[in-house]
Amino acid sequence: SIVVDKKNWIETVSPLLFAQTIIDPSLITVVDLGPFKHTVDGGLETRKTAFECVGTVVNAFGSTGTGGAGGHLPGDGTNAEVSNFSDFLGAAPASFPDGVASAIATGAGDHYDVKMLTHALLCKVLKSKLGAEAVGEKLKEIAAAMTKTLTQKMKSDAVKQEIDRNSDLVRSCLKAVVGLTIRLPRHVTETEDFDEFITKVVRSEKVVKQFEEAVAAAGGGGGGGGDFAGGEARVEE
């Protein structure tokens, strides 16, 4: 069927796509401008396009009709397909969620533009049980990258555009953090590393107000300083 062919094609192509989400040091050059040095990342546009493509593929699986009870997943009608019906990534190749999670862990520490795409991608895959499980395996790396984003200090001479861009990035990151705290089960988030990330970084004076705003926007599933890492809570879709 067309769906099976698409799945086989993605299984073949996705490793090549994920490879393009990784920073290639050989494409990074430093241009000497006299008193200044300017870094040129020749692979940035390729990585941005790769993340956009990954997001498109995730969206494609999310729009194949899976995601609710009572329907059927296009294909040969096997029990495996039916059991995965409520999880849209159940229609993806088995290795796909892990590949996406690895890309997210890398992208979360990349350039501004890639980070923004990564945060959006993370929010998408967390709506899948298989996606959330894969992300949970990379939680330590993702939290470490997000720590750098949320604790980054602006230069004293930063202009308004730079300040606004950083604010947008922080909001984007915190929205993804809320997704992690709501959609990952307790046994995944109740670790010393993640607890320290939430306590010392996310709930720091610098960003706690923005975090609480992000929680409220997601449906209030974690505000007010309470325990918000429950595996049962879910954002309304």
What is the model's pTM?
Answer: 0.82
Q: 213-222: per-residue pLDDT in tens? A: 999 999 865 4
pLDDT of residue 5: 73
Predicted confidence band of residue 6 (pLDDT cuts 50, 70, 90): confident
Is 186 exposed, middle or buried (CB count within 10 Å of its CB: 0-12, 13-18, 19+)?
Answer: exposed
Q: 163-172: per-residue pLDDT in tens? A: 999 999 999 9
- Cα dihedral sign, 207-150-106-24: positive
Higher pLDDT, 13 or 64: 13
CA 216 – CA 235 distance, rounded (Å): 11
CA 181 – CA 142 distance, rounded (Å): 13
Share of the chain above pLDDT 70, in %: 81
- DSSP helix/strand/coil, 124: helix
Q: 183-196: per-residue pLDDT in tens? A: 999 999 999 999 99
| 117 neighbors 51 (Cβ within 8 angstroms) | yes
CA 97 – CA 110 distance, rounded (Å): 20
Segment 123-129 shows an average pLDDT of: 95
Helix (H) or strand (E) holding 32: strand 28-33
Segment 223-229 shows an average pLDDT of: 38
- In the predicted structure, residue 123 carries a pLDDT above the cut 70: yes
